[in-house]
Structure 1
């Protein structure tokens, strides 16, 4: 069986030998794991799957770097000193390479499982073993699709609907046995999307509708349905997107949490709520910090308010004004007069950030009740990959496109009502947008996505698919702290393939314009 050493994440118990004779040492230890026997138990497939989930949540991707340096920076949700915030990204950018490495780590680990599962199954399994192995395979298909969905949106040089023949990223679906096996050319945007849909449908078919409490952090069938709706939305296949969103909306298991619980979604207090379709699970780890593969998130260390973390990545000043009087500004940011626990656990005003035009700091994913400086530099706040409010707003987009304006406005207004502490299902004239249709309604839904999903990693992908990157990024030349005027170029719509990949893989051509 094929495997890679990085999959073997087990801690093996040492075996104390009572004799050191040559004949004894020559005997093969059947309990020792090796590359040849790792995939010999369902439990080991589970361990490999844990390693694949871990690749999503680790420091490279959603545990800190990719979230901070790419998802917050490119759409200027943050004000920071890196090239992404200044629109000066190059193919030698270290953060571009880290994202590339991180997502291909997910792909490589997923391929290892998917290639070995049918070999193991051919040995003959019990009913329970077959059931669990099939679930593992389904989860793995989803994780590989999830990685490629991010990559096609980052490196794809056109949208699926505009020109699916344009280049994206190498499509690697097998375990490499030699250096030549990883020398793959960039696949087209269309082929990558086709693989994403195929993998997600395989996941949908093999996953339970809901997991029990012991497995609640796993992706479920309805989580996959929400992602499939999103994938089809990005493909501009509105009929399929609508069908998948409506399946999620029809499930009574999901609902927007009440306003009194809303802030807790981002403060580690409402984990795996009825609003959650998939979230990444973190916990405070006082034994190992984020650089030692601890169990916590490193997001808050960078974005926390002054004295609670590094505090050098802050919300851009333009965004503070953009919220206006919307109550979600208090969910998303700390004003200088707002209080949060300091390193001694005392609630004190956070003060003004030196790196923000208005003095604000990020609040989403930055705990109020403790300082990450005091918790081994990590946070236990879960990260939301997909929640129902996002589905509502995507569904509103689809219905607006299909000229179902009443339905579109209602789902947008449901999200607004909750934000204003009203019943999501009850019309509220003081909150609701009414009488909107066409472009006006479309733009209202888009701005609602800005307010509701601020600092949750969606904004860059949104403005790219709406083809408003130039219009958006040039708004951020005012009220900024970082130096240098933002200059737009057409190539800003996509990331460059890292120069290291171009140099090492002769089958890969550089991204256009880089």
Structure 2
């Protein structure tokens, strides 16, 4: 049996390993062992635990069967013109360095973590969809909801896979181990069609809202927003606009789903303001798990927060240290100078240390500027476990300002209702007291960069809009190759059907 491949078969072992606790939100998880699939799905509680397991790959910071993975924001920010890889030196997390300077190859880069994490999620969703209808005692309403969530999750994982790799196997059933390696790559069009089908199937059976005890579970709004985003990536402009309009409602107002722009931009990212009115799909990170270094590949806290803090910051205020990853590029600093969002996005550590007589060690590729949105602030320290490993900051993967700007872009591309596109764009600007501007593609792209900087969207935006070769030339980006990642080397060895991406 080939042991090194990352597509994990659920027909052999259902590696749930987690349960939900009534004292925590839905996705604040606790390790709880493994279960043979043949003995599982015997009651509704086991079905719920399996559902939580299907969410799990999205929120496990060091998961993905790849010790260089850590968090998806790390490599995505490193690949963009927002950040450098940084850290302690040129060999610190080689995967991040490789995507930062575009020296990736089949065996070097972050692709192993992305591939493993997302296919693990696909597999768990596949198993769930096969098993749910046979669970004794599962009532019809709960069955519909769990099934809808599984469809959303499979779509979510495949959307990441097709954007990152383009050419991936389309696996819709659980497989025996020997069959895993026989799966050919599907066309991107087939993968996108399946993503659309899954999200369309999910929407109507999802709740419009969830109670606080279920925060992190997908809702109708989240599925609709993701479907609109998928249409945008496919350049189906009219469908993207009409779908996102359902999420956005009246620009600047409160949508049907209850979404509304936060009054204060900085409040969006506070761990004390989780699941705020702007949050559409939020990944939960708990600071109360008491994690230590022995919990590697289990963390549901936000380890990325520790990663991006200034190295060895020495002072009684502001920041509780850090490892110096993803320092901000001069390009982003220049773009944001004078913008009201600057102090909530970028931390000028050089100026801070001079003004407060504190100190820090500049990181590799350091510029003196660091990520503020996810900074390890003293005010957010949790007093359980190792501080470095127990940061409570959530990650809002889809938020309302993002969907406003996506709809505005789709409307301009479609050449329809440019008045609404203008209103959407300027609602985002008005929130931070910026003057209105015309709804042109250039203005929308600029606004996306300033509004969403360091949130993991920039690299995808540059690639999908064709701006990457120019914007990332200073990092060594190669047009026609680096728009996608290499397939992990282990996925192409020993007679598998998977072929390496062009240029790698």
Q: Give the TM interval when normalised to the shorter protein.
A: 0.7 to 0.9
Aligned to 2:307: 302
Matches for 1:82-481 after TM superposition, within 5 Å: 82-120=97-135, 125=137, 129-156=139-166, 168-250=167-249, 251-252=255-256, 253-259=258-264, 262-285=265-288, 287-289=290-292, 291=296, 293-307=298-312, 308-336=321-349, 351=360, 353-356=362-365, 358-368=367-377, 369-370=379-380, 375-403=387-415, 404-420=417-433, 431-434=434-437, 436=438, 441-474=440-473, 477=474
Tell me, yes or no, if the aligned pair for 2:327 and 2:367 is still in contact at 8 Å.
no
CA contact (8 A) 1:285 1:295 kept: no
Gaps of 5+ in 1: 12-31, 157-167, 341-346, 421-430, 478-484
For 1:130 and 1:100, the matched residues in 2 are separated by 34
**Relative to structure 2, which stretch is displaced further, 498-507 or 197-206?**
498-507
Q: Decide whether the 8 Å contact of 2:270 with 2:393 is kept in 1.
A: yes
Moved over 4 A (4+): 60-64, 337-340, 347-352, 370-374
Question: What per-residue deviation string (whole Å, max 9, x for no partner) do you get for residues 263-292 of structure 1?
Answer: 132231211011111101112135224625
Match of 1:426 in 2: none
Pair 61,36 (structure 1): closer, same or farther in 2 beyond 3 Å: closer
Q: Distance in 2 between matches of 1:386 and 1:61?
A: 21
**SS of equivalent residue, structure 1 residue 493:** coil
- 1:436-456: CA deviation from partner (whole Å, max 9, x where unpaired): 36xxx1101001000000111
Structure 1 partner of 2:79 = 74
Identify if the C-alpha distance between structure 1 residues 42 and 3 changes in structure 2 by more than 3 Å, giving closer, same or farther.
farther
- Write the distance in 1 (CA, Å) between the matches of 2:336 and 2:467: 19
Task: Kindly tell me the number of residue pairs found equivalent between the two proteins.
Answer: 446
CA contact (8 A) 1:186 1:508 kept: yes
Q: Summarize the Cα distance change of 1:35–1:506 in structure 2 as closer, same or farther, 3 Å threshold.
A: closer
* 1:77–1:316 Cα contact (<8 Å) kept: yes
Separation in 1 of the partners of 2:102 and 2:221? 37
Tell me if 1:52 matches 2:54: yes
Q: In the TM superposition, what is the alpha-carbon distance from 1:78 to its structure 2 partner?
A: 1.5
Secondary structure of residue in 2 paired with 1:115: helix
Shift of 1:371: 5.6
How far off its partner does 1:4 sit? 4.3
Contact 1:278 1:386 in 2 (8 A): yes
Residues 378-402 of structure 1 show CA distances to partners (whole Å, capped at 9, x for unaligned) of 3100001100000110011012123
Taking structure 1 as the reference length, what is the TM-score of the superposition? 0.81
SS at match of 1:385: strand
Distance 1:388 1:241 in 2: 15
> Which whole-Å CA distance do the structure 2 matches of 1:34 and 1:320 have between them?
52
Any idea what SS the aligned residue of 1:169 has? coil
Question: Taking structure 1 as reference, are residues 349 and 338 closer, same or farther at Cα in structure 2, changes over 3 Å only?
Answer: farther
In structure 2, do the counterparts of structure 1 residues 204 and 338 end up closer, same or farther at CA, with 3 Å as the change threshold? farther
User: What are the superposed Cα offsets for residues 10-66 of structure 1, whole Å, 9 maximum, x if unpaired?
Assistant: 68xxxxxxxxxxxxxxxxxxxx96432311111111101111111111124799634
Bigger RCO (CA 8 Å, 6+ sep): 2
- Cα distance in 2 for residues equivalent to 1:348 and 1:396: 45
Q: CA deviation at 1:118?
A: 2.4
TM-superposed deviation, 1:302? 1.1
Q: 1:316 to 1:58 in 2, by over 3 A?
A: same
Residues 348 and 451 of structure 1: CA distance in aligned 2, closer, same or farther (over 3 Å): farther
Q: Which has the larger radius of gyration?
A: 1
1:9 and 2:22 are equivalent in the alignment = no
How big is the alpha-carbon RMSD for the aligned residues of Structure 1 and Structure 2? 2.5
2:31 is aligned with 1:35:
no
1:286–1:114: structure 2 CA closer, same or farther, 3 Å change rule?
A: closer
Q: CA separation in 2, counterparts of 1:219 and 1:274? A: 15
Taking the aligned partners of 1:58 and 1:155, their CA distance within structure 2 comes to 21
